[in-house]
Structure 1
């Protein structure tokens, strides 16, 4: 019996895209956790503006990682509307 060992690198990429291009980006060498996503959002919010300025709206899909109970108040606390 032969066994082969392969090194697989796994990356997870979290991009925030605006009309002007990539606004913010994080790359992880593992699957993204809720804590990782919250840290990503905190970094993203530093690049955003209060509504209704440019880069002022967060739109997320219905992924489970987007449903953290502290996420929406964190975003709305920075005067950025959330659309799910």
Structure 2
């Protein structure tokens, strides 16, 4: 059984879901890294090498929109920043399972798998699905 099927079986209402992930943006974010050309010819792309300022965002998304976010210049400082974001900005907008906003869904990034994350989720009687 896939993870999505497991979530679908255990979460009867989609309003229970809160998706949390991170993203980075700079001037090169929208640049293509690969291209295509005619057979036998090399693909050549010319572009300026300007990265500019990096911005990192940690959003918490529901079906109704963003309930919490943290944007910093540069990169988030790993687990420490994520735990702080989860405690201070996400958890106040969540409810105990099986209420709306009670199931947290995250990818399997290393900062989402720490013992402190599981403790925060269990303390609030929530469910966590890291995949």
Same fold at TM > 0.5: yes
Runs of 4+ in structure 1 off by over 2 angstroms are none
What count of residue pairs does the alignment treat as equivalent? 79
Question: Structure 2 vs 1, CA of residues 77 and 7 (structure 1 numbering), >3 Å: closer, same or farther?
Answer: same
Aligned to 1:76: 122
Computed over aligned residues only, the root mean square deviation of the Cα atoms, in angstroms, reads 1.5
Aligned partner of 1:51 in structure 2 is 97
Deviation at 1:58, TM superposition (A): 0.3
Q: Tell me by how many angstroms 1:48 deviates.
A: 0.6
Between Structure 1 and Structure 2, whose CA radius of gyration is higher? 2
Distance 1:74 1:8, change over 3 A: same
Q: Residue 67 of structure 1: CA displacement?
A: 1.6
SS in 2 for 1:45: helix
> TM-score normalised to the size of structure 1?
0.84
Normalised to the residue count of structure 2, the TM-score between the two structures is 0.56
* Structure 1, gaps ≥5 residues long: 1-5
CA distance in 2, matches of 1:23, 1:54: 12
Q: Which has the higher contact order (CA 8 A, sep 6+)?
A: 2
